[in-house]
C-alpha cells in the first residue's frame, strides 16, 4: 500500500464493491464514517416507503396486513437478518427498539435457569444494556455482577453453577474490540449460564455464525450496519432449542398462539413467533427490509474483507500523527468495522471534521470513532478523512 491519493484512487477504481456506494443516499462531498451510529439510507428505502404508504396502506387499508404481507413481516425480515448473522430460518423476529428486545431477551434468559441467581453483564457495554441488565436483576431479585470482558472467564469460573443470564456486546461500542462469541458462549454455558449477545455493532459488519456458535439469545440494532433508519426496529434471535421454554416478559397479543381468538389466557405461539409483542412498526420494518438489499447483494464476507483492509490503510495513514493513539486492536479477528482513535479534544476534533463534511463521532472524553463500512466507504474516503484530520490537528 502507498500513502498517496493516487494509490487510493487506483484501489477505488479496482474495488469490486465500488458500485454499492451509489445505492446509498449520501450528500455529495460528505464522508459518512459513522455508520456504527446511524447507517445512511439505501436508495431503495424511499421507493419502498412510497409504495407502502400509497399502494399498500392507501390502496388496501387494513387488508394490507394480509394482502401485502404486513402480518408476516417480523418473521420474514427476521429470516433475512438471520441469514446475515448465521441463523437458520424461524429463529429471528424483528420489532421494537434494541432496548426493549434486550429487556425481553435478558429476562427470558434468566427465566430459563431460575435457580441460577447471578446475572452477569459486560461492564463496557453500551449504557442501555447495562441499565437494562440492572433493571432485570432488580425485577427478578438476581445478584448483578458487572465485569470487563477480559475478566469474564474468571467471573464465570468463580460463579460456576450460579450463573444465569449473561449479557455481552460482541463488538465494544467504544473501542471496536470484537470478542470471541463462540469461545465465550461455550464458557458461559459451562458455567451453567445462558448467553445473550448484543450484536448491534456486529450484525452486517462481521460474519457471524450464531447457530454454529451455539448462541442462546441475541439482540441487535436495525439502524447501524443494517441501515434501517433512525429508530429502525431491532431484532431478537432465540436458538430453536429454547423456543418451547422461552418465557418472554412482554406477552403481547401478536405472540399469542391464536391472536384473533382474543381469548384468555396468554398461550405463546409456537416457534419464534412467541417473541412477537404488539402491532409491529410496519413502515419502519419495510424501510429496514429495503435497506438490506445492497448488503445482501454484496455479502457480509466481501464487505467485511474490504472493511478490514480499509482499517489497515487508516492505521498506516495515522501512524505519524502525534498524540493520536489507535485504541482498536489491530488484528482483524479482534476488531469490528469501526476504528477508535484516542486523542486530546476528541469532541472539538469531531466537530471540526463535521464542518469539513467528515462525519465521525466522539465518545467522551477522548475517543474518536471512524466507521469503515466497506459497503459505501471508499479508499479515497479514508485517505481524505485522514488528510482532514491531519489539518484539523495542525
Ligand X SMILES: Nc1c(O)cccc1C(=O)C[C@H](N)C(=O)O
Ligand Y SMILES: Cc1ncc(COP(=O)(O)O)c(C=O)c1O
**Catalytic residue of the set 126, 173, 237, 376:** 126
Of 70 and 173, nearer to ligand X (C-beta) is 173
As measured in angstroms, the least distance from the Cβ of 185 to ligand Y is 17
Segment contacting ligand Y by CB under 6 A, of 51-59, 84-92, 124-132, 136-144: 124-132
Report residue 109 as a C-alpha cell: 434468559
- Assess whether 369 carries a catalytic annotation: yes
Which residue of the chain is nearest ligand X when measured via CB? 173
DSSP 268: B
Asked about 224 being catalytic, the answer comes back as yes
Binds ligand Y by CB under 6 A, chosen from 169, 176, 336, 374: 169
| Catalytic residue list contains 131 | no
What is the enclosing helix (H) or strand (E) of 168?
A: strand 163-169
Question: Is the distance from CB of 133 to CB of 121 less than 8 angstroms?
Answer: yes
Residues 6+ apart with CB under 8 A from 157: 191
CA distance 189 to 85: 20
Q: Does 126 bind ligand X (CB under 6 A)?
A: yes
The minimum distance between CB 8 and ligand Y, in angstroms, equals 30
**Judged by CB, which is closer to ligand Y: 200, or 378?**
200
Interactions with ligand X, residue window 170-189 (CB under 6 A)? 173
Rule CB under 6 A: say whether 128 interacts with ligand Y.
yes
Region 37-96 residues binding ligand X, contact defined as CB under 6 A:
37
**135 binds ligand Y per the rule CB under 6 A:** no
Residue 169's binding partner, choosing from ligand X, ligand Y, none, with beta-carbon cut-off 5 to 8 A by kind?
ligand Y
Q: What are phi and psi of 140, to 5 degrees?
A: -100, 5
- Asked if residue 277 binds ligand Y (CB under 6 A), the reply is no
Q: Is 198 a catalytic residue?
A: yes
Q: What is the spatial distance between Cα 239 and Cα 17, in angstroms, rounded to a whole number?
A: 32
- Cβ–Cβ under 8 Å, residues 364 and 347: yes
Counting residues that bind ligand Y (by CB under 6 A) gives 12
Residue partners of 353: CB distance under 8 A and separation at least 6: 359, 360, 385, 388, 389, 392
Phi, psi of 232 (to 5 degrees): -55, 150
Catalytic-role residue among 224, 274, 304, 309: 224
Cβ atoms of residues 257 and 267 within 8 Å = yes
Binding mask 6-45 for ligand X (x = CB under 6 A): ------------------------------xx--------
Residue 365, preceding peptide bond in cis (omega within 30° of 0): yes
Should residue 104 be labelled a site residue for ligand Y when binding is judged by CB under 6 A? no
**Closer to ligand Y at the Cβ: 136 or 221?**
221
Q: How far apart are CA 115 and CA 132, in angstroms?
A: 20
Task: Indicate the DSSP class of residue 26.
Answer: -
Residue with smaller CB distance to ligand X, 8 or 171: 171
* Burial class of residue 47 in the structure, from the number of CB atoms within 10 Å of its CB (0-12 exposed, 13-18 middle, 19+ buried): exposed
Burial of 394 (0-12, 13-18, 19+ CB in 10 A): exposed
The contact mask relative to ligand Y for 181-210 (x = CB under 6 A, - = no) is -----------------x-xx---------
Minimum CB distance to ligand Y, residue 364 (Å): 15
CA 203, 206, 211, 217 dihedral sign is: negative
Query: Any idea what the Cα angle at residue 177 is, between residues 329 and 147, rounded to 5°?
Result: 125
Asked if 126 is an active-site residue, the reply is yes
Q: How far apart are CA 223 and CA 163, in angstroms?
A: 32
Distance in Å, CB of 371 to ligand X, minimum:
10
Q: Which residue, 51 or 135, is less far from ligand Y as judged by CB?
A: 135
Shortest gap between Cβ of 228 and ligand X (angstroms)? 12
Interaction site with ligand X (CB under 6 A): 36-37, 126, 173
* Residue ranges that bind ligand Y, judged by CB under 6 A: 97-99, 126, 128-129, 169, 173, 198, 200-201, 221
Catalytic positions, written as ranges: 126, 198, 223-224, 369
Amino acid at each position: 500500500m502507498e500513502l498517496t491519493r493516487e494509490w487510493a484512487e487506483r484501489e477505488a477504481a479496482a474495488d469490486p464493491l465500488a458500485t454499492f456506494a451509489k445505492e446509498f443516499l449520501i450528500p455529495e462531498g460528505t464522508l459518512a464514517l459513522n455508520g456504527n451510529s446511524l447507517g445512511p439510507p439505501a436508495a431503495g428505502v424511499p421507493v419502498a416507503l412510497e409504495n407502502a404508504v400509497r399502494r399498500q396502506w392507501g390502496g388496501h387499508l387494513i387488508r394490507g396486513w394480509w394482502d401485502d404481507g404486513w402480518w408476516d413481516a417480523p418473521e420474514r425480515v427476521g429470516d433475512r437478518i438471520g441469514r446475515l448473522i448465521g441463523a437458520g430460518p424461524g429463529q429471528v423476529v424483528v420489532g421494537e427498539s434494541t432496548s426493549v428486545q434486550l429487556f425481553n431477551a435478558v429476562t427470558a434468559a434468566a427465566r430459563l435457569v431460575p435457580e441460577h441467581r447471578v446475572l452477569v453483564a459486560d461492564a463496557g457495554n453500551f449504557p442501555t444494556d447495562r441499565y437494562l441488565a440492572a433493571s432485570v436483576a432488580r425485577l427478578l431479585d438476581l445478584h448483578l455482577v458487572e465485569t470487563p470482558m477480559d475478566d469474564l472467564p474468571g467471573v464465570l469460573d468463580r460463579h460456576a453453577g450460579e450463573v444465569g443470564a449473561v449479557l455481552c456486546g460482541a463488538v465494544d461500542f467504544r473501542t471496536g474490540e470484537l470478542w470471541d462469541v463462540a469461545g465465550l458462549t461455550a464458557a458461559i454455558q459451562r458455567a451453567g449460564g445462558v448467553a445473550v449477545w448484543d450484536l448491534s455493532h456486529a450484525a452486517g459488519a462481521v460474519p457471524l455464525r450464531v447457530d454454529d456458535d451455539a448462541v442462546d439469545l441475541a439482540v441487535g440494532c436495525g439502524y447501524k450496519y443494517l441501515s434501517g433508519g433512525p429508530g429502525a426496529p431491532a431484532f431478537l434471535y432465540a436458538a430453536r432449542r429454547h423456543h418451547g421454554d422461552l418465557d418472554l416478559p412482554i406477552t403481547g397479543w401478536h405472540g399469542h398462539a391464536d391472536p384473533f381468538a382474543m381469548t384468555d389466557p396468554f398461550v405463546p405461539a409456537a416457534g419464534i413467533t412467541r417473541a412477537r409483542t404488539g402491532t409491529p412498526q410496519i413502515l419502519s420494518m419495510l424501510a429496514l427490509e429495503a435497506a438490506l438489499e445492497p448488503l445482501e447483494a454484496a455479502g457480509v464476507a466481501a464487505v467485511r474483507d474490504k472493511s478490514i483492509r480499509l482499517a489497515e490503510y487508516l492505521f498506516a495513514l495515522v501512524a505519524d500523527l502525534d498524540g493520536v493513539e489507535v485504541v482498536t486492536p489491530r488484528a482483524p479477528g479482534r476488531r469490528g468495522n469501526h476504528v477508535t482513535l484516542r486523542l486530546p479534544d476528541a469532541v472539538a476534533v469531531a466537530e471540526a471534521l463535521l464542518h469539513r463534511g467528515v462525519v465521525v463521532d466522539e465518545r467522551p472524553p477522548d475517543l474518536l470513532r471512524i466507521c469503515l463500512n466497506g459497503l459505501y466507504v471508499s479508499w479515497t474516503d479514508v485517505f481524505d478523512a485522514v488528510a482532514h484530520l491531519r489539518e484539523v490537528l495542525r
